[in-house]
Amino acid sequence: MQIPNQMFLKEVYGETEKSSARFESLAQNYKKYYHSSEMEFFSAPGRTEIVGNHTDHNGGKVIAASISMDTIGAAFPNHSNLVEIISEGYDKKVVIDITEVDKVPKNHGTVSLVAGMIKAVQEFGFQISGFRAYISTEVISSAGVSSSASFEMLICSMINYFFNEGKMDYASYAKIGQYAENHFWDKASGLMDQMACAVGGAVLLDFSEDVAYEKVDFGFEDFGYRLVIVNTGKGHADLSQEYSDVPAEMKEIAARLGVSRLCETNMESLMEKLPEILEECENDRGILRAFHFFTENDRVNQAAEAIGRGEGEKLLKILDESGRSSWELLQNCCSLANYKEQKITLYLALTEFFLKKAGRGCCRVHGGGFAGVIMSIIAQEDVEEYVNYLSEYVSRENIYPLNIRKYGAIHLEK
């Protein structure tokens, strides 16, 4: 039974022992459930958002990157109209007839998400036919590293490879995932998660006009630091309203400035009209979130410049400011619906105690926020001590020293 080429595994994962074992298990399970040894292999990473917190949905800029956690799949066409997907750890097999996708109920988990993707592929003019897939993931679920986008981009890479001769670009991947979440999950997601998972490496994303991106040659190790993701132990699957309120409130302020998204105006216009808005608007939080958008967009530009100049300490200062803005202005570090549960702010505080003693590094909320994950940038020589320190308060298996992964959603050669 073939698995991906060892040299290619080394290139993607930086090792071959663990990755080979994962793909061998994947292949065995595919054969067990589908009774076939004919399969191709695919991988799509999770993502980290470096700076640009909650700006994409209002046409802002983001620096994001794929990470060394991924979702992998074995798949092959089944010469029918059925899409069949088995996800490791889930009892229910997803089976969808692509000719009857509109009959699939919405907001019913994975089956709805896959149906939305199939619908989007058809709507966007791409080809799709039936296929079988067996999928396994190490991307943390419901914790801000985009397990859903990783899954979506994996499925897109399969559809592109089998049925579209590689003609689907990354923006199409992202829009297919977004369409599924918006229309079949009622989740008001932007395109940032999908683009970061699809493209690979670090990318500067600009959502002001459709979606534009450019690669950024960057890794925290370039500056002597390591990315550490901490799952605080609280998922965010029940916080859809909290997430949806962020873009809605920003767009409410944009409308008061005569535009549809904040990217179409600026801080100066907001400050000029602020007395009038304060008199008419009862949503102070919306104003604070608009302040965050404008200052955060500026920070993305500053961060890109710092990376280009190799100014690591300046970059960390910008990321620290970004995290504080998320905490104070954007207010996505805890849920008001469950205000006593504040795992993100608790572990940010604990990390800041460590960083103050170390005299270097920074931390911030990671991703959508409200619950889930924090991101710490720790000096490489301090990582082991940080993991030991934090494991006194959260289980060690929830602390993940990671690297930025070079590859996005890909087919792995055999």
Give me the percent of the chain exceeding a pLDDT of 90. 77
pTM attached to this predicted model: 0.87
User: What does the pLDDT read at residue 162?
Assistant: 98
DSSP 91: S
Reported as a single tens digit per residue, the pLDDT across 9-62 is: 998 998 999 999 999 999 999 999 999 999 999 999 999 999 999 998 899 999
Token pair, residue 405, equals 């992964």
Q: What is the mean pLDDT of the chain?
A: 93
User: What does the pLDDT read at residue 91?
Assistant: 76
Comparison of pLDDT for 1 and 121, the residue scoring more: 121
Residue 317 has pLDDT above 70, yes or no: yes
d(CA 303, CA 364): 15
Residue 281 has pLDDT above 80, yes or no: yes
- Fold match between domain 6-217+406-412 and domain 220-402: no
User: What does the pLDDT read at residue 338?
Assistant: 83
At residue 189 the predicted structure's pLDDT band, cuts being 50, 70 and 90, is confident
Residue 363, exposed/middle/buried by CB under 10 A (0-12, 13-18, 19+)?
buried
Reported as a single tens digit per residue, the pLDDT across 136-157 is: 999 876 555 678 899 999 999 9
Instruction: Specify the residue for token string 């190790």.
Output: 221
Residue 236 has pLDDT above 60, yes or no: no
CATH fold of 220-402 reads Alpha-Beta Plaits (3.30.70)
- Provide the β-strand partners of residue 153: none
**CA-based nearest residue to 289, from 64, 63, 57, 47:** 57
- Residue 329 · residue 371 · CB < 8 Å: no
Comparison of pLDDT for 329 and 4, the residue scoring more: 329
- Residue 71 · residue 150 · CB < 8 Å: yes
Give residue limits of the domains in the chain: 6-217+406-412, 220-402
CATH fold of 6-217+406-412 reads Ribosomal Protein S5; domain 2 (3.30.230)
Comparison of pLDDT for 30 and 5, the residue scoring more: 30
Instruction: Determine the average pLDDT of the residues in 282-301.
Output: 97
